[in-house]
Every structure is written in C-alpha cells, then in structure tokens.
Structure 1
Amino acid sequence: MSNKEKSINGVPFLDLATQYRAIKKEIWERFDEVLELQNLILGPQVEELEKAVADYCGAKFSIGVGSGSDAILLSLMGFDIGNGDEVITTPFTFFSTASAISRVGARPVFVDIDIDTFNIDPNKIEEKITKRTKAIIPVHLFGQCADMEAIVAIAKRYNLKIIEDAAQAIGAEYQTKDSNRVKACSIGDTGCLSFYPSKNLGCFGEGGMITTNDEKLSKKLKALRAHGSKERYYHYMIGVNSRLDTMQAVVLLVKIKYLDEWTKLRNKKAQVYNEGLKGIVKTPYCRNGNFHVYNQYVIMSSKIKLIEEVFREGRIGYGRYYPLPLHMQKCFEYLGYKKGDFPDSELASEKALALPIYPELGNDQQEIAIRAIKKAV
C-alpha cells in the first residue's frame, strides 16, 4: 500500500487490524492445528479451502496457488498459450493481468473500457480479434462483473478461451438477459481469485485460487503449480512453484464464513456514499441486475486533485486505481500503443479515486469523507 492509501491517524483507507481482532481467537486455533501437524505446504486444509471456494463461486473445481497473478499465469499455461499468440484484455487494470500474458510469450491486445463500469467494452472486442487470438481476459474491476453474456457469445463465435480476472470480485454476480444470476468465477473457462490482504477475502500474505468446471484442466493446473509434477520428483511438464501454503488457507477458511456478512456491510457503506455524494461526483454505476461486492468504491470527478488535497489535509485515506493505464507503461512500449488510443481508460486514470470502504468503516468516518469531498468540489 502507498502512503496515500494508509493515512494512519484520520480515516484509514483500509483497517485490517479491527477485522483481525474480531476473529483472532479462531485464527490462532487454526494456526495451532497446522503447526502441530506440520502440514505447512498443501496440507489438507488447502483442499478444504479449495472445496469451500469452489462451492462459494458455483464452480466444480478450485486450485490453490501462490497469488492472483499466478492464477492468471497458470491459466494461460493450462491452455498452452505462448509465443505468437494474442490475448485480449483491458488496459485499465492491475499490471499482472497483462504481464502474465507477456510472461508466457504471448502479446497483450488491449480493448478500451466502458467508462460507466470501468470494465472491458464488449462492443470493441471483435475488431481486435485476429487469427492469433487465443483468449479473452475480462477483468471484474472493483467488484462488478464485466458484461459476460456478450463476451461469452464472442468467445464462442471465435473459439476463444475466457479467463475471468476476478481478483477483486469474489461473490459478485452477473445477471443474464433471462434474469438468471451467475457468480464470478463460474462463467469462463477459468476464474482467477486473489487473496491479497486488501481483497474482500484476504489472507495474511499472498494467495490465489483458480476455478474451473473442467476436471481434466484442474488436474493439469494442479501439476503446473507444483513444477509440473503429479508425483514428487517426477515431472511431465515444465511448471512453476506456486502453491498456496496451509497457514494462509486456514486464515481464509476462518474468513470465508463471514464473507457474505462482510459483503452486505460493504453494500450498505456504498449506499451511504451513494446518497451522500449524489450530484456531487460521479458515483459507481452498477449494471441492472448485477450484484456488486465493492472491493473498491471508485468515484470520478474533474476535481480529483482538489479532493486529494483535502483528503491529505484531513488524513483521509484514498487510492488511485490506476494512475497510468497499461498501454502507457514503459514496459509495454513494444506493443506500439500511444496516448489517445484508449480514451476512456485514460479518462478513468485521470479522474478516478477510491474512497475507504470496508465492513468495519464507521458511519462517522464516511461522513468525514463525504464532507471533505463536498468541501473540495
């Protein structure tokens, strides 16, 4: 976290300590269990968590991995995507969405976002598809699903894989045209979760999960996460070292019991902001029928710099997601993009700001943030 995000003595951007105190006893009971049995890597509790997450997301299988970044990387490896291939994604996302594509030797192909949802605009995908395109990685940014019905239709038309980047969206739901609700990580060929501490379901370090409904793929992914081996010291493919350790798994097993309750509280906090900031700044848009889990509550304003200044003066935490879109990052210069290629992503980078939102956030703290914004604009 940056210093901007911490803002220690006023309204913190995130308050993990308060959450920890509420579940401390349960956490240490599970820690003792692991330490006594000494199953520190891929112990039985990892399998317990994999089943719990699969059930929670409505998927058949889950594979615990070292991080959300590795979940994307391993998904690409699982589909044998590599040199000469292209993968479509958004430039307005965390770095690892696109870096994973580059790491397997494929080429990230960016598509601009829908400025209302911050998610990839499916109306702009088809024009970027070539004979080299192998997959689409839609990102369910800030806690709301991308327009998956449209994306699935495109993927079927061109025989493309879908890797859902749901790092920020565990529990989010997408409503289809026939009014069915489906959960993030149950729609694509794989779903990728991050358990980074700031996520709605976060561990005490790094952790991630891949979901899938394909049993054969799940077995391949389990081998890939462990150096390409099904049996220790016998390797039938080149994999990586990306195993979810058991200590992190038990933290998540404790926390997942509270996830629905915490998500409801996030939605209540979002409603307080919606009402308090109506007509003042652009508040998050939730597509009709979708269920947003508000990993981040992101506003937009032409006066973001003034809001930042007032927040700093009032010691109110905030986040800038993301100050420089990926197509303008130095490491992606080789892709040949330039400023102006993705205007909505660039606009979001200039004018978006994340407010504190978490289950433990007090109404008085929200009022402080709301008053500060009104003062700034």
Structure 2
Amino acid sequence: MDFIDLKSQYAALRDNINARIQKVLDHGQYILGPEVKEMEEALVAYTGAKHCISVASGTEALLICLMALDLQPGDEVITSPFTFAATAEMIVLAGGVPVFVDIQPGTANIDPTLIEAAITARTKAIMPVSLYGQVADMDAINTIAGKHGLAVIEDAAQSFGASYNGKKSCNLSTFGCTSFFPSKPLGCYGDGGAIFTSDDKLAQACREIRTHGQSQRYLHTRIGVGGRMDTLQCAVVLGKLDRFEWEVRRRLELGEAYRAKLSAAIPGLQLLEVKGDRDCVWAQYTVFVDDREAVQARLKAAGVPTAVHYPRPLHHQPAYAKYGKPEDCPHSIDAAQRVMSLPMSADLTEEQQDQVVAALAQALA
C-alpha cells in the first residue's frame, strides 16, 4: 500500500487532468496563462477570501506575506516549533526572528494561552500552523493579535479544505498560506502554493512581490522574488477541483473511521484531539506511540508504510537552536519523540484501513 495514494486519484481524474494539461500545451502560455487566473478565482469562491494570489510554493507564500508586511531585520514572529522547517525558515530568510511558543499536547497546534507572554515591542506577526489538517485556535489568536496590533499569517499548508466555526482555512486571518505540494489535501504535480487575504493593499503587494516587485512590466516598485506558480500546475489543480469536495468528505469519514477502529482495537492509544468547533482534513493521520522506531519496523515488515511529521522540534535543529533553549517547549519535544503518521488519502479503502489498524495493534502488542 502507498502512504499517500496519488495513483488512484489520478486514475479517477485522468481525463480531466489530461485535458487541462493539453489545453496549456496547445496555447503555450506557461507563465501566468489563463489557468492561473481561473484557479485563483475558483479558490476565492471556495474559501470566501477576497483575494487569492498563486505562488511557486507554500514556502514562497510565507516569505511573500512577510515581505508584504515589510518585516524588518530583528522583527519577531511568534510561531510553533513543532512544524516543518519552512515556517521558521522564511521568518529568518526575511530578516526576522522566530519566537517559539509551545503546542497544545492534544491538538499539536500552537497554544494560544502562551502567546501573549511571548509578545515584545519587536513582535510583528503571529504565524500559527494548522498542523495535520486541523486549524489552530484562530479566534483566540486573532483576539490577541488585534489587542497588540499584529498581523496573523495562518500556515495552512496542511489544512486546505478544513473548516473552523463555519469558515474555511485560509480565510481566517490577515493572511492564509497553503501548499499544493503533491501530497497535500489539494495538490498539484510539482511545487505550487497560494496566498489568501481580504486586504486589498496587502493583496496588491503580494502580486507585485511574486513578479520581482513589478507594478507593471519593467517598473519595479518594491523588492520582490520570482514566485509565480506556473500555468501547468494551476491546470492540474483545476483538474482536481471537481472531485475535491468529495475528497474532503472522504477524509473526514476516514478520520472518524480511524478513530473508532483504533480506539476499539488499541485501548489507550493516544490520538489527536479534534476540537468541536472545527474539523480536520487529515493531511496526515497521526498517532502517538512509544518506542517509535521499533513500531515502525514492525509495521514495515507487515507492509504498512509510516512517516514522522516531525522528528525534531525546530529549536532542536542546528539551524534554529539559537532561537531557543533545549528545554523550551516540552510538549513539542514530547510530540516529536512520539508522533507517527499512518497511510491516509481520500482513496484509502476500508480493507487497507483495517489492515493498518490490525498491523498497528499487533506491533504494539
């Protein structure tokens, strides 16, 4: 079985995706072709945000948002250390300082009750991560940000399609940034991403930054990057959109099935908490286990692939160790030592899910 089954997804969408790609090959507008605007408009309609700016990757989306906020050297951005490196990487690359705040042990998302104590005169923004497909506590985070005049950038690389209090991920704060990396809930066939905002000025800044800071051709009004998402990748996303609502429903169903089956088969197994005012699109279905390497080896022998998202919190990574003390963020440290992700995609079958559950029960026995 595949950890993420992209082959079955493509088989279901082959005609639509192939036709979309062929259309781009026929018109030849590989950069900022008509599919770029079409995709952006479709995603505006889906999320409810006023603007969608497609970009080269989810990582690039974070960087462009920080540049649009005019982040200055030494400005601080509060974020979680329990995330992929790109979150802090872009803060540092933009000249900022990541300030790590610990996670909630139940959800693995940033703990909003710890954020206010981390705010200083240099704080410019808060960057919560909607990890594993569940949105962070955005109402509480936005309230704190509003009190202190801070921007909020949702790192929604794993949560596109998720809902929170009746609104979609990416339409919950100053900015929402997502990724279309192939393994994401909505993925393309290479790198791609998008920025969402309802602020007209920030949207214009992001559009200019993604094309080398140009307000019009060869008029560079600000520092920018080469951050465009190419037309072929936008075509792939468009080819997947007709099925996306079904895939989100299927992910919710599979997540609930995993919860029920694992709770019955392995009493006491720690699962991620999904809060009642939101759902989770399960970019990864993640559980907590002890003696992880041995468990993974047993599952591999049984034909069940696994992955770890993520084995070290960022303040334990050599590149980011100077931004925290080793003992900081104990819940993040514990999670990094115990999380393990199981096979998950919209095309996972009940038979495969039962195989995973049985193998994990045996591996933990």
Name the residue aligned to 2:353.
Answer: 366
1:261 alignment partner, one of 237, 240, 246: 246
Name the residue aligned to 2:118.
Answer: 128
| SS state at 1:257 partner | helix
Q: Check conservation: 1:303, 1:376, Cα contact below 8 A.
A: no
Provide closer, same or farther for how the CA distance between residues 205 and 158 of structure 1 changes in structure 2, counting only shifts above 3 A: same
Q: Check conservation: 1:59, 1:212, Cα contact below 8 A.
A: yes
Q: Check conservation: 1:280, 1:374, Cα contact below 8 A.
A: no
Q: Check conservation: 1:86, 1:135, Cα contact below 8 A.
A: yes
Name the residue aligned to 1:53.
Answer: 43
1:33 alignment partner, one of 15, 23, 26: 23
State the Cα distance separating 1:370 from its structure 2 match: 0.6
State the Cα distance separating 1:280 from its structure 2 match: 4.4
Q: Check conservation: 2:134, 2:159, Cα contact below 8 A.
A: yes
Name the residue aligned to 1:16.
Answer: 6
Name the residue aligned to 1:338.
Answer: 325
Matched letter for residue 335 of structure 2: A
Q: Report the Cα distance in structure 1 between the residues aligned to 2:260 and 2:298, rounded to whole angstroms.
A: 21
Deviations 1:284-329 (A, max 9, x none): 2110121211111110122433321211111211110100110110
* Aligned 1:183-262 pairs, distance under 5 A: 183-262=168-247
Name the residue aligned to 2:163.
Answer: 173
* Aligned 1:305-320 pairs, distance under 5 A: 305-320=293-308
Higher mean Cα deviation, 326-335 or 96-105? Answer: 326-335
1:352 to 2:342 alignment: no
State the Cα distance separating 1:339 from its structure 2 match: 2.4
1:275 alignment partner, one of 254, 260, 266: 260
Paired residues in the alignment total 361
Q: Report the Cα distance in structure 2 between the residues aligned to 1:286 and 1:67, rounded to whole angstroms.
A: 27
Name the residue aligned to 1:109.
Answer: 99
Q: Report the Cα distance in structure 1 between the residues aligned to 2:97 and 2:326, rounded to whole angstroms.
A: 19
Name the residue aligned to 1:88.
Answer: 78
State the Cα distance separating 1:184 from its structure 2 match: 1.1
Q: Report the Cα distance in structure 2 between the residues aligned to 1:282 and 1:296, rounded to whole angstroms.
A: 15
Q: Check conservation: 1:73, 1:104, Cα contact below 8 A.
A: yes
Q: Check conservation: 2:284, 2:341, Cα contact below 8 A.
A: yes
State the Cα distance separating 1:361 from its structure 2 match: 0.8
Higher mean Cα deviation, 61-70 or 326-335? Answer: 326-335
Name the residue aligned to 1:8.
Answer: none
Q: Report the Cα distance in structure 1 between the residues aligned to 2:132 and 2:181, rounded to whole angstroms.
A: 14
Structure 2 gaps of 5+ residues are none
State the Cα distance separating 1:106 from its structure 2 match: 0.5
Q: Check conservation: 2:134, 2:280, Cα contact below 8 A.
A: yes
Matched letter for residue 331 of structure 1: A
| SS state at 2:124 partner | strand
1:297 alignment partner, one of 260, 264, 285: 285
Q: Check conservation: 2:315, 2:322, Cα contact below 8 A.
A: no
Q: Report the Cα distance in structure 1 between the residues aligned to 2:270 and 2:137, rounded to whole angstroms.
A: 21
Matched letter for residue 287 of structure 2: I
Matched letter for residue 47 of structure 1: K
Structure 1 gaps of 5+ residues are 1-10, 176-180
Q: Report the Cα distance in structure 2 between the residues aligned to 1:312 and 1:334, rounded to whole angstroms.
A: 36
Q: Report the Cα distance in structure 1 between the residues aligned to 2:286 and 2:232, rounded to whole angstroms.
A: 32
Q: Report the Cα distance in structure 2 between the residues aligned to 1:280 and 1:253, rounded to whole angstroms.
A: 42
| SS state at 1:258 partner | helix
| SS state at 2:117 partner | helix
Name the residue aligned to 1:78.
Answer: 68
Q: Where does structure 1 differ by over 4 angstroms across 4 or more consecutive aligned residues?
A: none
| SS state at 2:351 partner | helix
Q: Check conservation: 1:63, 1:211, Cα contact below 8 A.
A: yes
TM-score (norm 2): 0.97
Matched letter for residue 361 of structure 2: K
Q: Report the Cα distance in structure 1 between the residues aligned to 2:39 and 2:151, rounded to whole angstroms.
A: 26
Matched letter for residue 240 of structure 2: K
1:323 alignment partner, one of 295, 311, 323: 311
Q: Report the Cα distance in structure 1 between the residues aligned to 2:175 and 2:43, rounded to whole angstroms.
A: 13
State the Cα distance separating 1:342 from its structure 2 match: 0.8
Q: Check conservation: 1:307, 1:372, Cα contact below 8 A.
A: no
Name the residue aligned to 2:145.
Answer: 155
Q: Report the Cα distance in structure 2 between the residues aligned to 1:213 and 1:21, rounded to whole angstroms.
A: 36
Q: Report the Cα distance in structure 1 between the residues aligned to 2:262 and 2:274, rounded to whole angstroms.
A: 15
Deviations 1:355-375 (A, max 9, x none): 111111111111111111111
Matched letter for residue 376 of structure 1: A
| SS state at 2:24 partner | helix
